[in-house]
Amino acid sequence: MLKSINLSFQYLGSPSISFPDFTAEQGEHWLILGPSGSGKTTLLHLLGGLLSPSTGNITLDELYYSAFSTAKLDKFRGENIGIVFQKAHAVQSLSVMENLLLAQQLGGKMLDKRKIMDLLERLQIAHKANQKPNRLSAGEQQRVAIARAVINQPRLILADEPTSALDDKNSTEVQNLLKESADAVKAILLVVTHDNRLKATFPKQLLLK
């Protein structure tokens, strides 16, 4: 279970942004909606442990990770949180397979090529396993990003505008893959977006103003 209480963040020289208290149970899929400037990305970064809150705290299964030190937080994140960004930003000098091996390494998990290939097959990019990311289409790159986010079986999957750069066909595919992948590891899925195409398929929604 993910829980955030009394969360707020203040950028230097700007007014503080407050976020509504929020709870998500294991296996739930949530959409976090809001116009530009409402702090969607800030919230996602706070939930992902990439930013420290000004007030409040966040817990995942009773662990107060928003208060962890950098070292502990890095480790926690690698093991428990998978993040999908708008662009994959995979390591350019490594193949898809090597990128995923790196994700396993950094997440403190055992290197397992078989497991990676299974995942790539489910995401239908197994044939690109030995290619470098710049040889893949945008949709294929996003699938690599999804694979990377779920390979370590995290408890929480965060997606920041995962479909905003994709066409309708790829957008639908990515949505479905995200949900399937989250279900496969029974993770909480939180998608932050302003993309209206997703509203219809995510019943649980949090609105930011």
Considering only 18-26, 102-110, 120-128, 200-208, which stretch makes contact with another protein by CB under 8 A?
102-110
Residues 6+ apart with CB under 8 A from 89: 145
In the region spanning residues 63 to 82, those forming contacts with another protein, defined by CB under 8 A, are: 70-71, 74-75, 77-79
Least distance (Å) between residue 203 CB and another protein: 26
Least distance (Å) between residue 6 CB and another protein: 20
Under the criterion CB under 8 A, does residue 26 sit at the interface with another protein? no
Give the pair of three-digit tokens for residue 145: 């990003």
For 11, 36, 66, 167, the CA distances from 14, given in Å and listed in that order, are: 5, 16, 22, 35
Q: Which of 4, 42, 66, 181 binds another protein (CB under 8 A)?
A: 42
Give the pair of three-digit tokens for residue 174: 């990515």
DSSP state of 201: G
At 1, is the secondary structure helix, strand, or coil?
coil
Query: Is 5 or 50 the residue whose CB approaches another protein more closely?
Result: 50
Query: Is 107 or 139 the residue whose CB approaches another protein more closely?
Result: 107
Please state whether beta strands 22-24 and 188-193 pair in parallel, antiparallel, or not at all (unpaired): unpaired
* Residue linked to tokens 């009773």: 62
Q: Which of 4, 66, 104, 181 binds another protein (CB under 8 A)?
A: 104
Considering only 24-32, 42-50, 118-126, 195-203, which stretch makes contact with another protein by CB under 8 A?
42-50
* Residue linked to tokens 């790196």: 102
* Residue linked to tokens 């694979």: 147
Chain contacts with another protein (rule: CB under 8 A)? 36-37, 41-42, 45, 48, 50-51, 70-71, 74-75, 77-79, 83, 85-87, 89-94, 98, 101-108, 111, 148, 160-161
